[in-house]
C-alpha cells in the first residue's frame, strides 16, 4: 500500500495519512477503480485534512486507454502519482505460436497501427537470421528508409495528439497534414497507407 502525508505549517489545514491501493494490487483488473472515483474527507478536529485520491484513466480522454494514474492530491498539488501500465497488452506472443513465418507479418502490422513497418522490419530481421537468409543490399536500404518514414509519421501523430490534448489544435492539424504526405508516398509505393 502507498501512504501519503503532507506536513503543513501550524494553524493551517494539513492532511492525514491515508492508504491508496498499489499498482500491484490493481494490475490484475480486479480493481474497482473508475475514471472519476474519489475519496474525500472533511476537515478533522486535529487541524488536518485528508488528501484527495483520484484514479485517472484508463478511460480518461488524455490517457488514450493505455494508462491509469493513481493520484494523491492536496488541493491542486499532486503529492503522489503511481502509473499503472499494461492496459494495451494483447497476448501477441501466444498468437504467434500458431502462425507460420509468412502469417506473422500480418500480426506485426497489427501490433502498432501508427508504425507497422517498424514492427515488420524487426520481425523480418529475426526471421532472416533464423533461416540464415541473405537479402540484396538495395532491399535492405529501401526497407530501412520506409521504416524511418513510418517512424516519422508516428512521431508526427504523437506530437499532434499531445498538442491537441494540451488544447492546441493548430499544431495537430499541421502534423496531420505532414503525416498525410508521408502516407500518400506509401500509397504510391505499395498501395497501402
Q: What pLDDT, on the 0 to 100 scale, is given for residue 98?
A: 93
pLDDT tens digit at each of 193 positions of the chain: 444 444 444 333 333 344 444 444 444 443 444 444 444 444 444 556 789 999 887 877 767 778 889 999 998 899 999 999 888 788 888 999 999 999 999 999 888 888 889 999 999 999 999 999 999 999 999 999 999 999 999 999 999 999 998 899 999 999 999 999 999 999 999 888 7
* Contact of 123 with 108, CB cutoff 8 Å: yes
* Contact of 158 with 128, CB cutoff 8 Å: no
Please state the domain count of the chain.
Answer: 2
Q: What pLDDT, on the 0 to 100 scale, is given for residue 173?
A: 96
121 shares its domain with 55: no
The Cα 6–Cα 53 span in angstroms is 14
| Helix 137-165 × helix 169-190 angle, to 10° | 160
Given 50, 84, 118, the domain boundary residue is 84
119 shares its domain with 178: yes
45 shares its domain with 129: no
12 shares its domain with 96: no
* Phi and psi, residue 148, nearest 5°: -70, -40
Question: Which domain range does residue 106 map to?
Answer: 92-190
79 shares its domain with 122: no
Estimate to the nearest angstrom the gap between the alpha carbon of 88 and the chain centroid.
8
Residue 35 in grid coordinates: 475514471
pLDDT digits (tens, 9 = 90+) for 105-131: 999 988 888 888 999 999 999 999 999
128 shares its domain with 165: yes
109 shares its domain with 176: yes
pLDDT digits (tens, 9 = 90+) for 149-158: 999 999 999 9
Q: What pLDDT, on the 0 to 100 scale, is given for residue 47?
A: 56
Cβ neighbours around 16 below 10 Å, total: 14
**What is the rounded radius of gyration, in angstroms, for the C-alpha atoms of the chain?**
24
Q: Average model confidence (pLDDT) for the chain?
A: 79
Given 20, 50, 84, the domain boundary residue is 84
Amino acid at each position: 500500500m502507498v501512504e501519503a502525508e503532507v506536513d503543513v505549517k501550524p494553524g493551517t489545514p494539513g492532511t492525514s495519512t491515508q492508504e491508496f491501493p498499489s499498482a500491484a494490487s490493481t494490475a490484475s483488473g480486479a480493481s474497482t477503480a473508475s475514471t472519476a472515483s474519489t475519496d474525500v474527507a472533511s476537515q478533522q478536529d486535529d487541524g488536518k485534512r485528508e488528501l484527495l485520491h483520484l484514479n485517472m484513466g484508463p478511460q480518461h480522454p488524455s490517457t488514450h486507454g493505455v494508462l491509469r494514474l493513481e493520484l494523491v492530491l492536496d488541493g491542486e498539488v499532486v503529492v503522489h502519482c503511481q502509473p499503472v501500465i499494461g492496459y494495451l497488452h494483447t497476448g501477441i506472443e501466444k498468437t504467434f505460436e500458431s502462425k507460420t513465418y509468412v502469417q506473422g507479418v500480418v500480426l506485426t502490422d497489427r501490433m502498432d497501427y501508427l508504425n507497422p513497418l517498424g514492427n515488420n522490419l524487426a520481425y523480418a530481421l529475426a526471421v532472416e537470421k533464423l533461416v540464415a537468409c541473405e537479402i540484396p543490399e538495395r532491399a535492405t536500404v529501401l526497407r530501412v528508409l520506409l521504416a524511418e518514414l513510418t517512424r516519422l509519421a508516428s512521431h508526427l501523430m504523437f506530437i499532434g495528439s499531445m498538442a491537441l490534448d494540451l488544447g492546441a489544435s493548430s499544431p495537430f492539424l499541421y502534423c496531420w497534414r505532414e503525416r498525410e504526405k508521408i502516407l500518400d508516398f506509401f500509397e504510391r509505393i505499395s498501395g497501402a497507407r
